[in-house]
Amino acid sequence: MTHKTIFITQDQFAKSLIQRLDTAAQITSPDIAERLRFARERAIGAQKIASTSTAWSLAPQTSGVFALGGGNFNLFSKLGMIVPLVALVVGLIAINQLQNDYRAKEIADVDAALLTDDLPPAAYADQGFGQFLKLQTER
């Protein structure tokens, strides 16, 4: 079984679709044709409204569905966009502050352990001290 890929242009597809729709329109009942005409007029009206409104605002359309390209841009829609952004920035600042506090506490713990140990801090920096510790653990 071989599969054959067929490439058609947009124009060819549009012509084929128009032909099928015309054929189906001839066999539809008058009440369905009237409902289709009404839906077509409503879609054209919605397209005219959408083309004249702002492209990046969100507003409810006549059907109650939120769509890009609404109309008025009120205070609540502005707050709806600003509040999550502010929450994100505050969260990132809080995480950064907590991480800095955690690192400072770790460094303070290591410093306190070094300063309260019996050995001087210079002993830990000495390379021979590592060898000394290995010899002590072997005994």
**100-110 mean pLDDT:** 93
High-pLDDT (> 70) share of the chain, %: 78
pLDDT at 130: 78
pLDDT at 36: 78
For the chain, what is the HEC assignment? CCCCCCCCCHHHHHHHHHHHHHHHHHCCCHHHHHHHHHHHHHHHHHHHHHHHCCCCCEEECCCCCEEECCCCCCHHHHHHHHHHHHHHHHHHHHHHHHHHHHHHHHHHHHHHHHHHCCCCHHHHHCHHHHHHHHHHHHC
- Mean pLDDT highest for which of 15-19, 59-63, 66-70, 85-89? 85-89
pLDDT at 42: 86
pTM summary value: 0.36
